[in-house]
Structure 1
C-alpha cells in the first residue's frame, strides 16, 4: 500500500495543539506524519508532559516513510518569541500564519497528500494587525479559490455551511441565489469526488424560524432558497430537499436518509453536530485543490500545559483524512 504524507500544523503555540501532536506521536499510524512547527516548542512540550519525542527534518525529495512511535518528521518554522502555555503573544501570530502558508503551498505542489490543522486563535491574530477570519478563508485565498465550503462531520452526520464566519446581522443579505448555487454545486461535486457518493442527497435548512412560516416570519425561503433549489434539482443529478425548518431538520429519520445537511449559517448547524460528536468530529474544507481537515475544537488555553488535552478529535480527523486520501487514490 502506498504511504501517504500527511502534514499537520501545530496551531496556536500557547494552546493545546503542540501537546496533542506530541501525544499523537505516541500512537501507531501507517502513514507518514509531518509537523510544521518550531522543533524547540515540540521538544519543550514533550519534556513538560514527559513523553519521548525524536524529530527529523523532512526531506521533501525522499519517499514517504511510515510513522514510528515517538518520532515525528518536521518542517521547521521558528517562533518569534518563546511560547508559554496558556499565554497568548501577538508576536507569534505571524508564525501561525507562516505554518499555514507553508502547508498550503506544499499541498498545492503535490508534495504532501493532505493537511490536518491544529486549532488557532483568530482573536490574537487579528489583534496583532494581521487579517484572519479562519482557516477556511485563509486557504481559499492562498489557493486563489473563489469559493470554498466548510463541512463538519462526525459518525452519522455531515453539516455544510452556506455562510461561515459572518456576524449574524449580515447573514440574511449574504443568502443570495448566486451564493446558494455556488455552494451547492461545490458540495455536490465534492461529495462525488472526495466521498465517492454518486447521487448526493442534500437536506437544505431554511434561514428563518419554521422556514419562514409561509412568509410570516421572513420571505427568504420563498423568494430565494426554494426557487434556487428547484432550478438545481433540474440541473444536478442529485436530490435537494428543503428548505426545511432547522429545528426539525436534524431528526434521525431525516439525517439518516441524506448525505449532508446544508445550514444557512455557522450556529444554525454546528451546535447539533458538536453536541452529537464533539471530540470525535472533523472539519473539512470543500472546494480546495487538496484535502484539508481539522480538529473540531479550539485552542484550549484554559487547560494548556496541564497534560489533560484529549486527542480524540485529532485521532478522528487523522482517520478521516486517511480515508479521503484512499478514496481519492481509488477514484
Structure 2
C-alpha cells in the first residue's frame, strides 16, 4: 500500500542579529526556493528589515505578514511569510541593543512555535552572543537556549556540524583548551555518542550509523607516550558503546581521521574538543555547513557561520549554509513525520 506525501507544517526561521548577514541570506533562500526545492518556511518578525536586506542583494522581495503559521504554506510560493509585527531598522554591520532585542524576540517566538509543533522545525539565524547578553540572554548560545525551551538539560543536547563531506561532533564545546582533559570522562563520551547514534538513525535515515571517536593527544597517545586519556577514558568508552550494539571505533589519531580515505569509514566523527571538529568541517564544507542540535524533541538547525558584520549588506555573503540548514531541517522533519505515520 502506498501513502500520499505527508503534509508538514511549515518550518520557522528566526532572524538572527539584524545587523548581520542572517536577514539577507533568508531573503536569498526564499528567492532561490524553487531552484533549491526548499520546503515552505516563515520568519518571525522583521518584515521591513527583510525587504531592505533583500534590496542590498538586488532582490525584490515580496513579504506578506501572516497571523497564523498555518497560513505560510499558501503564502510561500508568492511571498516570504512573516509572522508578527516586530520589526526594526536595518543597519548592516552596526549591531545595537535594539537589534539584539529584535533578534531575541524572533528567536523566542520561533522556538515556541517549534516546541508547540506549530512549526515542523526550527532554523535559527546567527546571533551575536555578547549583544544578546546585554539584553538579558543568559545562555551560552542558542543551542542551550533551545534545549532549555524543550525542557532538555544542556548535557543531553549535542551539537553536530554537518556538510556534504563530513559530519562532526565536538564532545566539549566552548571551553578553554586547557580545560578539555579534565572535562573528558567515559560517561560524557558514552552519553553523547548514544544521542548521536539515535539521532542519525531517526533523523538522517542511517540504519546503523558508524561512529569514529578521535583521540585527544597526538597519534592518539601512542601507547601512553603522549598522554593516557586514550587508554584511561576514550578506549573504555568505545568498548562500552560497542557492548551496547553501537558501531563505534577508536580512539583514532585525529590527524588521519579526516583524510579522504579516512572519511569513507565513518558516518560521523566524535571529536574531543571544538576546533578538532570544526577545523576539518570548515575546511571541507565552509559554505554549506549546518549546525544541528541532536537530542531534542524538535528539529533545530542553523547555518554554521556567524553574523559576519564586516560583510553584511555588501552582497558578499554566501547563502549556501542557510539554504542547506533549511533543506536539512525539512528533510529531518519529514523523516520524523514518516516514522509517526508509517
Q: Which of the five TM-score ranges fits, normalised by the shorter chain?
A: over 0.9
Following superposition, the deviation at residue 95 of structure 1 comes to 2.6
Match of 1:58 in 2: 66
SS of the residue corresponding to residue 226 of structure 2 reads: coil
Within 2, Cα distance between the matches of 1:226 and 1:136?
A: 28
Counterpart for residue 9 of structure 1: 14
Structure-2 separation of matches of 1:30 and 1:105: 22
The Cα shift of 1:61 comes to 6.6
Moved over 6 A (4+): none
Greater displacement, 192-201 / 30-39? 30-39
Q: Which residue of 2 aligns with 1:265?
A: 273
Residues in 2 aligned to 1:126 and 1:64: alpha-carbon distance in whole angstroms: 31
Structure 1 unaligned blocks of 5 or more: none
Q: What is the CA distance between 1:275 and its match in structure 2?
A: 0.7
Distance 1:320 1:160, change over 3 A: same
Equivalent pairs counted in the alignment come to 329
Q: For residue 98 of structure 1, what is the aligned residue in structure 2?
A: 105
Matches within 5 A, 1:49-198: 49-60=57-68, 62=70, 65=73, 68=76, 71-76=79-84, 78-79=86-87, 82-128=89-135, 130-146=137-153, 147-198=156-207
Comparing 46-55 and 241-250, the one that deviates more: 46-55
Partner of 1:302, secondary structure, is: helix
- Contact 1:32/1:64 (8 A) holds in 2: yes
- Say if 1:20 and 1:82 are closer, same or farther in 2 by CA, change over 3 A: same
Q: Name the counterpart of 2:251.
A: 243
1:217 pairs, out of 203, 226, 238, with: 226
Residue pair 1:77, 1:95 contacting (<8 A) in 2 also: no
Secondary structure of the equivalent of 1:207? coil
Find 1:45's aligned residue among 24, 28, 53. Answer: 53
Q: Say what the alpha-carbon RMSD is for the aligned residues.
A: 2.0
Give TM-score, length-normalised by structure 1.
0.92
Change (3 A) 1:30 1:137: closer
C-alpha deviation, 1:48, in angstroms: 4.2
Alpha-carbon displacement from aligned partner over 1:253-297 (angstroms, at most 9, x marks no partner): 222121100011110111101111110121111011111111121
Give, in whole Å, the separation in 2 of the partners of 1:77 and 1:176.
Answer: 47
1:40 Cα deviation after fit: 2.4
The structural deviation recorded for 1:67 is 6.0
Structure 2 segments unaligned to the other structure (5+ residues): none
| Cα distance, 1:219–1:10 mapped onto 2, change above 3 Å | same
Q: 1:296 to 1:84 in 2, by over 3 A?
A: same
How far apart, CA to CA, are the structure 2 residues paired with 1:108 and 1:255?
35
More moved, 129-138 vs 191-200: 129-138
Q: Residues 3 and 64 of structure 1 are in contact (CA less than 8 Å); yes or no, is this contact kept in structure 2? A: no
Determine helix, strand or coil for the equivalent of 1:141: helix
Q: Deviations over 1:226-253 (max 9, x none)?
A: 1121122111x22111011111111222
Q: 2: CA distance between counterparts of 1:159 and 1:119?
A: 20
Distance apart, 1:70 and its partner CA: 5.8
Encode CA deviations 1:100-148: one digit per residue, 9 max, x unaligned.
2212211111110011111111232235553332221211122121211
Cα distance in 1 for residues equivalent to 2:69 and 2:323? 27
Tell me whether 2-11 or 23-32 shows the greater mean CA deviation.
23-32
1:36 and 1:24 mapped to 2: Cα distance? 15
* Structure 1 segment 198-213 matched on structure 2, within 5 A: 198-213=207-222
Deviation track 1:165-185 (CA, whole Å, cap 9, x = no partner) reads 222222222111221121011
